[in-house]
Amino acid sequence: MPFVLSTMVAQTVAFWIVAVAMAVAAIGVVRSQNVVHAALYLVVVLAGAAAQYILLVAEFVAWVQVLIYIGAIVILFLFGIMLTRAPMKPDGPLDNNQRFAAGVVSLFLFGVLTALLVDAYGNDQVKPTAKLLAAGSPANIADSMFRNYLVPFEVVSMLLLAALVGAVVIARRD
Amino acid sequence: MTLNNFLILGAFLFCTGLYGVLARKNAVLVLMSIELMLNAVNINLVAFSAFRANVTGQVFSLFIITIAAAEVGVGLAIVLLIYRNSRSVDLDQADQLKG
Amino acid sequence: MLDNAWIIPAIPAVSFFLILFFGKRIPTKGAAIGITALGTSFVLSCVAVYQWIDRVESATGGKSEGLRALGRSLIAHSGESKPVVEPVLHHITWWSNSGIDFGVGIRMDGLAVMMCFVVTLISLLVHIYSTAYLHNDTRYTHYYAMLSLFSAAMLTLVVADNTLQVLLGWEGVGLCSFALIGHWWEEGANSKAALKAFLTTRTGDIGLLIGITVLFWAAGSFDIGKINAYALSPHANHGMMLVAASCLMVAIIGKSGQFPLHTWLPDAMAGPTPVSALIHAATMVVAGVYLAARLYPVFWNGFSIGHGGVNFMVLIGGITIIIGALLAFVQDDIKKVLAYSTISQLGYMVMALGSGAWVAAVFHLFTHAFFKALLFLGAGSVSHSGSHHSFDMKKDMGGLRKFMPITFWTFIVGTLALAGIFPFAGFWSKDEILLTAGKSGYTFFLVVGLVGAFLTAAYMTRCVYLTFFGEYRGHGHPHESEPVITVPLIILAVFAALAGFLNAAAVHVEKFADWVEPRVSFPVLVHPAFDYPTAILSLSIACIGIGVAAFFFFKREELGALNGLTERNKVARAGYNFLVNKYYLDVLYENVIVASIRGGIARGCYWFNQNVIDAVVNGTAKGVRVTGQWTYDYLDRKVVDGAVNGTAEVTAESGGLLRYFQAGRVQRYALYMFAVVGLLALLLLIANI
């Protein structure tokens, strides 16, 4: 099917561009010596993640990602940075002395995981079936969430409430 | 699209986030690295959801996003408190649990 | 009264307590209580005697009653049939345990009532006599209390129906003897004499205890009737009877002053004279003879008395006769003469029993009680009024017959009775002993008895001469004693003179034998008819004895060479010394046996105790202590504590090491965690590929 083939090729190209951008930005997050730069790199990673969701026919999740993650969480981060940064002073070194060990562990874990994944899933393909296309629609998600996962939904909302109250209490100036 | 692409991307992000958690001194940067890890998990979930054409994965990832938001809120509140008490968010100096 | 004969010992026992508690406060200081009590007991004993005689006579078929029967029976002929007359038995069981019966009781037969009569009569006379003899004595009341206790114990022994009661009475009289001999204990010699008496008789009492036990095992009972029946039965164990008889013989040797345990009797003269009269002449010392008479079947069986020949009993009796008589010759103390005379006469009784002359022995006991008590009380009268409280014949007496006629004549009566001169009591009883011994096949002992008779007559004549004849050598003012003393002497003299006629075999009067000899559980004994040759022989020997001694003393100036023989001749001197030192028996007992035990053996035992036994004990203790110390040092401190401390040290060290991992830095912990997770993941991966 040429349509499918070209779509597949286009998606793969798009995937790779976004993936490389995300990888570089992720490394930027953990290696940048400026906190604000790190936050901005994080924005790139989050945006890239949203793009990947769209590629995976999960529009709703992608938009929620943009809204919540980039729209709220990053703002929170920036506020946190602002409040915890000594003004008029450059950031000191932002890495501690176990960089090397951490790098080794991360690489090691990455290696293990990759080996595992390659061994497990080999050349499995994500097929763009009609079911897939219908899966990510908000209607479907809503259907699933409010029917099958209603209780977790409610629990999560309680959790949000607790987190909200907790954050206010903890950070209160008294 | 090859499923493994997404999964390996997710693994990479996770390990990068792990490096950041272990190697960064600033508490806020550690929280950011945790976000990276969570995002990696999300990508994994959504990829599997697409692979199986099952919406459960996406629902799950929504929950994770929610939880991440709550966690960042509380985490930053704590970091703020630490900053107020010790004028620094350097984790190397938060070693009162030293044995 | 036969049924209630227990009252006879009970009255003196009660009087003992009354005198002890109230004696000092009443006017006569207790003497009245004692005299009343003994008087009552005497009267009751007389009633018992009368009842027993009546019992015997009515069983024999006597038609008349009361005194008429007594009179008729006295002139009746012997040789009539002797029906069985049972003794009167009453028993109260104190407690009974697995078939063994412990209790008290009475066994009233002729022997018992005779002894009750004798004991109560002489005790009563001694009580009356002592009011004058011990006038103003420091312990007057206690003396009367002990006299009452003695009478009670002796009477308990006499009426006893089981051997344990006999033992009770036996020990009681031993105790009272000790107390009364040591009445004037301020003098060391008196208390020593009391101890000697007590301990010597105690040595004999071992035999009594063992004998009673053996008899119990053999016969299965303590009852005297059962024991006698057993001893005479065909299935009696002869070996056990022999053992029991030998043990009881040891007791008799101790209590009745036989050789070799006779040494306490002369020393017992340290007590007051009335005590000597009562205890060491008439009553206590005959307890052994009485025991033998009571349990005669045991001796009859054990020593095979019926078969003739020498047995332990007759041998000891014979030896005692001779040694007692010989020692009486060298005494200066009048009481010691009488003491050795008692030993000798007791030897006669034991010899008689050993040769089968039961009636003779008991009759001699009866008569001896009267004349010996008479002699002792006479000696007491002499000392009280004649020799200024001294008993030394050579130094303080002599020629007293002029001053003390009543005492002199009663003493003569006693002497003649003792020597065995017709018609006094001693003649009849001693003659019967000699006769029965000769006729039962113990001819050697007949000879011994005759020799003894000769010696008895001789030494008594010496004693009478030294006391009543010659010149007065003393320092006091001799005079006759008061009636309280002389009246008992007269009463006893009457008995000494006439008592023999109760068994005057010559005129066929054998009432004593009829009344006293048991007819139940008793062996068949030889009763020889009166034999004139033997009687004349013994009488003449006694007269010769008196004559020789009289000649020696009265005609001293004409003797010449014989005079002072022992001072000049070495052999005679040695013989004299041997006698004076009482055959060196006292030396043997005190200086050899006792001293070696007290000295060497006791020291040896002490050494053994301190060095061996204590060494073992101390060594064990030390060993335990050393072990304990070692256990503490090594096991406790090093091993146990080491383990405990070691565990703690290891924990601390490991904790110290682990501490380095806790730097307080969270990221460090996270690093460790993830590193391990990665490793595990790798492992799982490898395992599952």
Residue C99 has pLDDT above 90, yes or no: no
**Domain match, A4 and A81 both:** yes
Same domain, A79 and A142: no
Which domain, by its residues, includes C509?
Answer: 310-579
Residue B49: predicted pLDDT: 92
DSSP letter, residue C133: H
Claim: this prediction has a pTM higher than 0.80: no
Number of domains in chain C: 1
What integer best gives the mean pLDDT of chain A? 89
Q: Is B85 on the interface with A (CB under 8 A)?
A: no
pLDDT at residue C583, rounded to an integer: 75
pLDDT tens figures, C354-373? 888 888 899 999 999 999 99
pLDDT in the model for residue C63: 52
Contacts of A151 in chain B (CB under 8 A): none
pLDDT tens figures, A14-31 = 999 999 999 999 999 999
Assign C69 a pLDDT band (cuts: 50, 70, 90): low
Instruction: Tell me the pLDDT tens digit for each residue of A100-109.
Output: 999 999 999 9
Spell out the residues 6+ positions from residue C358 whose beta carbon is closer than 8 angstroms to its own: C293, C296, C352, C517, C525
- The beta-strand segments (E) located in C88-185 are 88-97, 100-108
Mean pLDDT of the C647-670 span: 85
- Position C173 scores a pLDDT of 94
pLDDT of A114 > 50? The answer is yes
Residue C152 has pLDDT above 90, yes or no: yes
Are residues A73 and A145 located together in one domain of the fold? Answer: no
> How far does B46 lie from chain A, in Å, by closest CA?
7
Please report the pLDDT score of residue B61 as a whole number.
Answer: 95
The verdict on A1 and A81 lying in the same domain is yes
Residue C66: per-residue pLDDT: 56
| Residues on chain C touching A116 (C-beta within 8 angstroms) | 681, 685
Q: In chain B, how many domains are there?
A: 1
Same domain, A83 and A141: no
Chains contacting C (3+ CB pairs below 8 angstroms)? A, B
Mean pLDDT across C66-95: 67
**Of all residues in chain C, what percent carry a pLDDT higher than 70?**
94
Could B94 and C666 be called an inter-chain contact, meaning their C-beta atoms sit closer than 8 Å? yes
- Higher pLDDT pick, C282 / C36: C36
In the predicted model, residues of chain B with pLDDT beneath 50 are none
Subunits in contact with chain B (3 or more CB pairs closer than 8 Å): A, C
Indicate whether A95 belongs to any domain.
Answer: no
Lowest model confidence (mean pLDDT) among C210-219, C458-467, C474-483: C474-483
Give yes or no for a contact between C295 and C248, defined as CB atoms under 8 angstroms apart. yes
CA atoms within 13 A on the CB side of C441: 12
- C626 part of contact set with chain A, CB < 8 Å: no
A148 in the same domain as A83: no
**Higher per-residue confidence, A116 vs C397:** A116
The verdict on residue C49 lying in a domain is: no
Q: Cα–Cα distance between C687 and C689 in angstroms, integer?
A: 6
Which of B7, B14, B55 is facing A121, going by the closest CB pair? B7
Identify whether A107 is part of a domain. no
Question: What pLDDT is recorded for position C476?
Answer: 77
Determine the structural domain holding residue A44 and report its residue range: 1-87
Residue-wise pLDDT tens digits, C567-617: 667 777 777 777 777 777 777 777 777 777 777 788 888 888 888 888 888
Structural domains counted in chain A: 2
Rounded to the nearest angstrom, the minimum Cα separation between B99 and chain A is 19
> Residue C91, SS3?
strand
pLDDT at res. C78: 46
Q: C183 forms bridges with which residues in the sheet?
A: none
pLDDT of residue C77: 47
Whether A101 maps to a domain, the answer reads no
Kindly report the three-state secondary structure assignment for every residue of C594-649: HHHHHHHHHHHHHHHHHHHHHHHHHHHHHHHHHHHHHHHHHHHHHHHHHHHHHHHH
**In which band, very low, low, confident or very high, does the pLDDT at C29 lie, cut at 50, 70 and 90?**
confident
**Residue A3 belongs to some domain of the structure:** yes
> Measured between CA atoms, how close is A75 to chain B, in angstroms?
11
Taking only the tens place, the pLDDT of each residue in C613-644 is 888 888 889 999 999 998 888 888 888 888 89
Q: How far apart are CA C280 and CA C150, in angstroms?
A: 12
Task: Give me the domain span that covers residue B72.
Answer: 3-90
A128 in a structural domain: no
Mean pLDDT of chain C: 85
pLDDT at C355: 87
Q: Is the confidence at residue C561, as pLDDT, over 60?
A: no
Does A123 reside within a domain?
A: no
Q: What is the CATH number of the domain that holds B22?
A: 1.10.287.3510
| Residue C160 pLDDT level (bands cut at 50, 70, 90) | very high
The reply to whether A4 falls in a domain is: yes
Within-domain flag for A99: no
Query: Is the residue at C94 inside a domain?
Result: no
pLDDT category at C65 given cuts 50, 70, 90 is low
**pLDDT for the residue C505:** 65
Q: Comparing C506 with C119, which gets the higher pLDDT?
A: C119
Query: Is B97 contained in some domain?
Result: no
